[in-house]
C-alpha cells in the first residue's frame, strides 16, 4: 500500500520550516509571513518541531524531485514551494522598505 502526503500538508511543512529559519536569522527582529489561511493551523501545530533536524530532513525530502518520477508523482512541488517562498520574501522586503 502506498502512502501519499496531501499537498497542503507538504506546503505547511515547508512554510513552517522556512518561517522558522527566517525567524532564527532575524536577530530578534519581527518576521511577518504571508500564507494562506488554510496553512495557519498546521504551521501552529508544526512550529514546536520546525527547528529540529528531523523536520529539516523531512522538508528537504519534500523539496527533492526524484531522478525518475514514479507514475502519478507530481514534479511541480519545488515550483509551488519556491513561489510561496518568493511571496513570503517579497512581503518581508516590502515591510523593510527594500
For residue range 16-26, list pLDDT tens digits in order. Answer: 999 999 999 99
Q: What's the predicted TM-score (pTM) here?
A: 0.62
Helix axes 7-25, 53-63, angle to 10 degrees: 130
CA-closest candidate to residue 44, choices 15, 7, 10, 84: 15
Supply φ then ψ for residue 76, to 5 degrees: -90, -10
CA-closest candidate to residue 81, choices 73, 89, 70: 89
Tally of CA atoms within 13 A in the half-sphere of 6 that contains its CB: 6
pLDDT tens digits, one per residue of 27-76: 889 988 888 888 899 999 999 999 999 999 998 888 886 666 555 555 54
Amino acid at each position: 500500500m502506498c502512502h501519499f502526503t496531501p499537498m497542503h500538508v507538504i506546503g505547511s511543512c515547508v512554510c513552517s520550516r522556512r518561517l522558522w529559519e527566517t525567524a532564527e536569522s532575524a536577530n530578534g527582529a519581527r518576521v511577518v509571513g504571508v500564507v494562506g489561511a488554510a496553512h495557519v493551523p498546521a504551521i501552529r501545530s508544526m512550529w514546536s518541531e520546525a527547528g529540529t533536524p528531523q523536520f529539516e530532513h523531512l522538508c528537504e525530502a519534500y523539496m527533492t524531485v526524484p531522478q525518475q518520477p514514479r507514475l502519478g508523482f507530481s514534479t511541480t512541488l519545488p515550483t509551488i514551494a519556491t513561489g510561496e517562498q518568493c511571496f513570503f520574501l517579497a512581503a518581508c522586503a516590502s515591510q523593510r522598505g527594500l
